[in-house]
Structure 1
Amino acid sequence: MTTWFITGISSGFGRELATQLLDAGHRVAGTVRSSSPLDGYGDRLWLGRLDVTDPAAVRTTVDAAFAAMGRIDVVVPNAGYGLFGAAEEVTDEQAEHQITTNLLGTIRTVRAALPHLRAQGSGRVIALSSVAGLTAHPGASLYHASKWGVEGFMEALAAEVAPFGIGVTIVEPGGARTSFAGSSLRLGAPLAAYDGTPAAFVRAFAGDAVPPLPGDPAKIAARIVASAEEEPAPLRMVLGSDSYAAVTAALRARLAQVEPQEASAAATDF
């Protein structure tokens, strides 16, 4: 039996992870912003009320979860949402809230958990990033900014905490049939200037025109759960055929842009 701390278990991957773990006999300390859809698990489920945009509340809640559970083996900063729209279609407040939730919420959760994991001498941090953390599409610039930030933070963190027996994994799911396109998605106000441009594709998410997504949330969650037993921890875990195709294409394109610059890059040295 292992114990997991997961932010945002009321829907999406967080709920799927919590349900699978609890049904398998594990313990879960989960956070919600309002009410929890999970019950019937007795003392194997600990719930905390948390908005990850509140720095003090993040630390207080993480400390309380470790105190209540005694030991936590896996920490999953999962809480987040998608803000779509061209960069100038979103307000300053929307942009700040996106970064504060997705990026700073992840950073704060991990930082609050690290002293406990170091004291244990072991643990695993599994961050929910996205295919959007390694690719970029017009109409999602702020969402990409938040997820690319998670990527950089977690990759550097992995090397920082390895000496303490703490493993780090970044999960890169593609499109999955969760509630993301509903309750976890927000749109900027459309500007006529962007009508018919590549950035306007996101406007389809406001209606019923979203095509079925390929990812199976249950299979994705099961793969995440299984990864906690892998040694060493996989640094990145690409989940979904669409994610694999998009990530590999983006990385190849990036190399193709950079590799021809070897001589010009060296020309700027002393």
Structure 2
Amino acid sequence: MQALMRPGGALHIRIDGPDGAPALLMLNSLGTDLRLWDGLMPHLSGFRVIRYDKQGHGLSDLWDGSTIAAHAADAVAVIEAAGGPVTLVGCSIGGLIAQVVAAERPNLVRALVLSNSAAKLGNADSWNQRIAAVQAGGTEAIADAVMERWFAAPFRASPQLALWRNMLARTGAPGYIAACRALAASDQTGATRALRLPTLVIAGSQDGAAPPDLVRATADLIAGAEFHLIDGAGHLPCVETPAAMAAILIPFLERHA
């Protein structure tokens, strides 16, 4: 295990793949850690894959995770420590963080991949309701409802569901709440509309957290962005349908990473 020390604590990071290979920085969704991308890893053998647990998730400390700007600063620190630039691959809140990094530090970003993400995710009222539920009962209290939004019915009927439910339910409430507060306050629409870099946007037809029309609307903001819909996938296609996601992702990376 590796730690990157930040002013307020440690980030758990992992780097796989050869030095000198095109670098990817994978940015996780809310309530998951760097294992989110395990299913894609066999498809990424030709790349240097950098992953980390965002603040308050996995093995990383929590000190200032209540703004997207703070999470973006962590991502920049990881890129600089790894010797960037990189292609950013972000899922859900990870995609929102990626949009901020691409807008504010374009010198560090070769290309952008947004999976099941948008320039604005939800609204303040919905996130505040989520925060209240977690404050009252921890992440366990919301786990079943989140699984409904994350995964299509066939995956929810599989034994693997228990592992992802456990990952969410074992995420500490302070880190989860901090990230919810960041989401409640974030709207990147204007900055994302100004992006001018190769961009791939992926949605899942069964996504209950970031519906396809919302994801497509963000793709429409970015000049020249590619949009792909994975039929039958929910909010985490890298978990549910990694081969289908890789079939979309790898050609884009070969052209732009």
TM-score with structure 2 length normalisation?
0.34
- Which protein is bigger by CA-based radius of gyration? 1
TM-score with structure 1 length normalisation?
0.32
